[in-house]
Structure 1
Amino acid sequence: MTLLEQVQEKSKEIHTDGYPMSIGELASIYKDGELDIHPDFQRIFRWNDVQKSKLIESILLGIPIPSIFVSQRENGIWDVVDGLQRLSTIFEFMEILKDENGNNLPGSTLVSTPHLDKLAGFKWNNPNKQFEIDSSLKLEIKRVKIDVKIVKKQSDKNVKFELFQRINTLGSRLSDQEVRNCLLIMINKEFYHWLKSISNNENFLNTISLADRLIEEQYHIELALRYFIYKNIELSEIKGVTDLSEFITDKMIKYAEDTTFDKDKEKAIFEGTFAILNKILGEDVFKRYVKANDKFQGKFLLSLFETISIGVGKNIEKGSLLDETEILNSIKKIWESTDFLTKYGSGVNVTSRLPVLIPLGEKMFSNEA
C-alpha cells in the first residue's frame, strides 16, 4: 500500500463537521443534557479565578475564542473532547454548571483583568445589583459564537480518544496519567473510580512515598495501573514496545473494556501486596539498601517497584509467597543480584528491563523450590 492509498483509507474512518454556535445555544443544549462536559474532569482541569475572568473578558471584548472539539455518540449526545475548561468557565459564570451528581454549582465571581479592571466582584446574578452583569451584556455574551468541530458518530470509535490524547499531550498541558484518567472517564467511568479508589490505598501510598507534585500529577494512579499491567501481561508483549506510555494506555483501555477483568480479585491481591510490604518496611521498601550500615536510603526507585511489588503480587496470586522475615531478606538480597544491578538504572529501557526484573521478583519471593 502506498502512502497516498493509506491516507485515503484512513481518512474514510474519520467523519467530521463543524459550524459556529452561539454561547446561548451551547448553554441550552448543555441544560438539556445534549452536551456532556464530564464533571469528573473538573478535578483534573482547574483554572484559577484570574484565568476564568480573562476568558469572560475576552468574550466581552470580542476576542475570538478557540474552537471546541466534540465527539458525537450513537445517541447524538456530544462529548466534549477539547474545550472543557472554557465551557465549564462560561457555564459556571452563567450559573448553570452541574457537578457529577447533577447539582448546580455556585456561580463564579469575577476578578479584575488587564483590560477590564471594573470586572472585580461582578456575577451573572447578584443580590447586590451594583455588581450584577447588565442585561445588555448578558445578551451580548449569549450571542457570541464559538466554532464547534464535530467528530461524527460514523467515525471509528477510537478517533475521539486519539484526538483527546493528541490535543492534550502535544502541548504537554497534562501528565500522561491525567490524560489517561480523562480517557477512562469517557470509556468506563466505573473502572476509573475503581482504579482511583485503589490508588488511594493507605498502605500503597505509604510505600511509594511520592512528593506532593507527583501525587497532583496522578503518578500514584499510574503506578497502580502499571502494577496491574505488569502482573498480568505475558513478557513477550513487552518486546518491541517503543513507546511505554502508549503501551500503558492501550492496556488500560483493554482492561476497561474487558468484562472478564476480575476487579474484586485484582483489588484483593493489590491490597494484600501493599499491606505486607508496608508492614515489613513501610516507606523504605522501594529505596536502595546499603548493606554496610544495614539501612535503606534515597528516593523511590521504579525498578524496585517493578521487581518487588510484582513479585509479591504474583506469588500471592499463586499462594506461594514467602513469610515476612524471608520477604525482608529477599528485598535485601536484590542488591546482590547481578541481573538487578545491570537492569535497574534509569538508562535501561523497558524492553530490556522488565523481561529480567519481573521473573527475578517472582522467583525471589516464591517459597517454591
Structure 2
Amino acid sequence: MTSNLSNAVKLQQQLDKERRLVSTDSYDLSVGQLLSMFEAGEIEVPPEYQRQFVWDEVRESQLIESVLLGIPIPSLFMATNADSTWEIVDGVQRLGTIAHFSGRPDLLRKVVKNEPLKITGLDKLSALNGETIEGLSKPLQLMFNTRPMRVTVLNDKSDQGVRFDLFERLNTGGISLTNQEIRNCVFRGPFNEDLKRLSSHASFLSSVKIKSGDQRNGTLEEFVLRFFAFFDNYVGFDHSVKDFLNEYMKYRASGRLSLVEERLFKDTFDVISQNLPHGIVRGQRVTPVNLFEGVAVGVALAIKSGRPVHPARLAGLLGDSNLRKFTTGATNSKKAVVGRIEYVRDALVR
C-alpha cells in the first residue's frame, strides 16, 4: 500500500511538472487564411520536411474531397518561432496538399510541385476527377477556401526541450525525420549553420562513410555535432546520447564555433584522412558512431594536448583488441565512452 501511494505521488509530481512545460493555443482558420499565411512566409516548412512531400495524387485528391465534404481533418500542429511566425510540426502533407491544389505559383514552389493538383481517383465526388481548382465554379472555389481547419500552436512559453519532444512524437509524415533533422528545426541558429558547413569539409567526408540514403537526412551533421559535444564534455556523458546531443545543441544554438574550434576540427580530420585512407571503418561500408567518437575525439584531444602525436598508429588502432572492448557491447555506457576516447588519445601521444 505504501509503495502504491508513493508511486501515485511521484506520478502526480511528474505530471504536474511536465504539463506546465507545454503551453498551446488553438485556432480554427479557413483554408484561405492558412494558404495566405503560408504564402506570406508566416507559416514555415523547414527544408528538412521537403522529404515528406510524398503523397501521390490519389491520396491528395482524397484529402481535398474530405475538405469539400466537411469531413473533419486532423489538427495541424505548429510551433511558434521567435519572430512570431509558425513552423509546422505535424501536418506537412495536409498543408502541402491544399497548397498544391490552390495552384498559386509561390505555393507550388514551396511544396516542390510543378503543376497544380489535378483531382483523380475519387468515388464519392467522381465529377471532380480530372479537374484543377481553376475548373471549379466560383461558388465551389469559395467553399474550398472558406472551409475551416483546426490548428494547434505550441506557443513561446514552452521550452525547446518540449519542442524537440513534440517534433519527435508528432512527426507522422510519410518519411519520418531523423533526430538531427528535428534538431535542425528546433535549434536553429549560427551553431547549426556551422555544423552544416563543416559537414561538407573534404577531409571529414573522406573519413566518415555513410549509407547513400543518409546523405541528405542530417546524418553527416550529427557526426559533426557528436565531435564537438563529446570533445567538450565526454566526461559528463551519462548514457542517453539523444539527450546529451540535444542539451549541447540547445546550449550552443545562438553562438558560432570559434576559429580555434574550427581549426581543430579540420586538423583532426586532415590527420585521420591522411592515415586512414578508407575512412573510420573496420571492413564495413559505413562508419560506426562509437568508433567515430573514439577515433575523432581521441585524435582531437591528442592534438590539443600539445604533446608529440604519432598519427601513423591510427591504422593499427582500428583492429586493436582493447579498443574493440570499448566499441562493442554496452557502447553507450559512460565507462565505454570515456574508455574509447581516452584509449585513442593515449595511444597517439605516449
Alignment TM class, shorter chain as reference: 0.7 to 0.9
- How far 1:332 sits from its partner (Å)? 0.7
Per the alignment, residue 197 of structure 2 pairs with 197
Q: Match of 1:18, SS?
A: strand
1:179 aligns with 2:162: no
Among candidates 50, 66, 70, match of residue 58 of structure 1:
66
Equivalent residues in 2 for 1:119-268 (5 A)?
Answer: 122-125=131-134, 132-156=135-159, 158-168=161-171, 173-185=176-188, 188=189, 190-235=190-235, 237-239=236-238, 241=239, 243-257=240-254, 259=255, 262-268=257-263
The CA distance in 1 between the partners of 2:290 and 2:16, in whole Å, is 43
1:357 and 2:340 are equivalent in the alignment: yes
Partner of 1:310: 297
Amino acid aligned to 2:170 = I
Query: Which 10-residue stretch deviates more, 248-257 or 44-53?
Result: 44-53
Taking structure 1 as reference, are residues 121 and 281 closer, same or farther at Cα in structure 2, changes over 3 Å only? Answer: farther
> Of residues 265, 269, 276 in structure 2, which corresponds to 1:274?
269
Distance 1:15 1:97 in 2: 35
Number of matched pairs: 338
Match of 1:292 in 2: none
Rounded Cα–Cα distance in structure 2 between residues aligned with 1:228 and 1:46: 32
Separation (CA, whole Å) in 2 of partners of 1:110 and 1:202: 44
Which deviations, in whole Å up to 9, do the C-alpha atoms of 1:272-330 show, x marking residues without a partner?
22233223332x23222xxxxxxxx33333333122211222233444463xxx42333
More relative contact order, 1 or 2 (CA 8 Å, 6+ apart): 2
Are residues 301 and 28 of structure 1, via their aligned partners in 2, closer, same or farther at CA, if it must alter by over 3 Å? Answer: closer
Q: TM-score, normalised by structure 1?
A: 0.77
What residue in structure 2 maps to residue 128 of structure 1?
none
2:35 partner letter = A
Gaps of 5+ in 2: 1-8
Match of 1:40 among 18, 26, 47: 47
Letter in 1 for 2:245: I
3-state SS of the aligned residue for 2:153? strand
Residues 197-230 of structure 1 deviation map (CA, whole Å, 9 limit, x = unaligned): 2212233223222121232433222212111111
| Residue of structure 2 in register with 1:328 after alignment | 312
Give the drift of 1:354: 0.7
Local SS of the residue matching 1:109: coil
Task: Give the residue type in structure 2 aligned to 1:246.
Answer: D
CA distance change for structure 1 residues 337 and 201 in 2, over 3 Å: closer, same or farther?
same
| Alignment correspondent of 1:286 | 280
Q: Is the 8 A contact 1:21 1:148 kept in 2?
A: yes
Give the TM-score of the pair, scaled to structure 2. 0.80
Deviation of 1:97 (Å): 7.2
Aligned to 2:5: none
Which segments of 5 or more consecutive residues in structure 1 lack a partner in the other structure? Answer: 126-131, 289-296
Alpha-carbon contact 1:113-1:119 (below 8 Å) kept: no
Supply the distance in 1 between the matched residues of 2:82 and 2:224 (Cα, whole angstroms). Answer: 32
Q: 1:244 to 1:158 in 2, by over 3 A?
A: closer
In 1, Cα distance between equivalents of 2:344 and 2:331: 17
Shift of 1:268: 2.6
Distance 1:222 1:76, change over 3 A: closer
